[in-house]
Amino acid sequence: MFHILIVEDDKNLRRLMATYLEREGYEVYHAGDGEQAMEILDTQHIDLIISDIMMPNMDGYQLTEELRRAEYTLPILMVTAKETFEDKKKGFLVGTDDYMVKPLDMEEMLLRVSALLRRANIANEHKLEFGDVSLDYDSLTVTAHGQTYELPKKEFYLLFKLLSYPKKIFTRQQLMDEIWGMEAEADERTVDVHIKRLREKFDDLPEFKIVTIRGLGYKAEKNA
């Protein structure tokens, strides 16, 4: 299942967009402006963003620029009431991938979302590849140097999250919230146990390392 974040200050439009996306099997997250979107991105794996331009606190241009500066490569579909060439030009210059003008045709939005996911090599692959390492989200496997490791679901999700955002520090609580959710029996020590298991499997690989940030949590560093 692919995770889509809608960033739109019009609640009714946001709900309508979410309804169409959920009917297609996407999991949808909601934000009313760019600042809320950044908070969600800190704790959730998002595959694609649909963002309005004119919003309070942080608009769509600022959000896109911040994400590209932070090396987020996920596709961004910008939607707006503005339709001048200069507005579109500014959107593409800050790093958006596609552009739609309101009022939105919901069926066209779905087609554009699907195309962006394909273009980003997510819909067909849902993989991370670097050096001689490949992570396959659908089969929960890691392939490295000709050897394939089939991981338990939580271990794989944890590794996929860290390697999706190399050098980004995640607190234990952030990882707990996303990967374990509301499971009452899990606590922050669970993260440490899973990190230990991942290190036992992959510490010999030169392509990446999982680094402990004392007092905070963990990050992954890619060397490939």
pLDDT at residue 20 tops 90: yes
**pLDDT given at position 38:** 93
For 129-166, give one letter per residue: b (16+ CB within 10 A) or e: eeeebebbbeebebbbeeeebebeebbbbbbbbbbbbe
What is the pLDDT confidence band of residue 186, given thresholds at 50, 70 and 90? low
Q: Under CATH, to which class is 127-222 assigned?
A: mainly alpha
Q: What is the pTM of this model?
A: 0.58
Q: Does domain 3-119 have CATH number 3.40.50.1370?
A: no
**pLDDT given at position 127:** 78
If one compares 86 and 110, the residue with the highest pLDDT of the two is: 110
Arithmetic mean of pLDDT, 153-162: 92
Arithmetic mean of pLDDT, 59-70: 92
**pLDDT given at position 182:** 53
**pLDDT given at position 125:** 57
Q: How far is CA 18 from the centre of its chain?
A: 17
pLDDT in tens, 93-144: 889 999 999 999 999 999 999 888 877 755 445 778 888 999 988 889 999 9
**pLDDT given at position 168:** 87
**pLDDT given at position 123:** 45
Give the residue extent of every domain in the chain.
3-119, 127-222
pLDDT at residue 185 tops 80: no
Give the percent of the chain with pLDDT over 90: 59
Give the percent of the chain with pLDDT over 70: 94
Dihedral pair phi/psi, residue 131, rounded to 5°: 55, -130
What is the pLDDT confidence band of residue 218, given thresholds at 50, 70 and 90? very high
pLDDT at residue 8 tops 60: yes
**pLDDT given at position 55:** 93
Distance of alpha carbon 63 from alpha carbon 103, whole angstroms: 22
Arithmetic mean of pLDDT, 43-62: 92
Query: Within 10 A of 201 (CB to CB), how many other CB atoms are there?
Result: 14
Q: Do domains 3-119 and 127-222 have the same CATH topology?
A: no
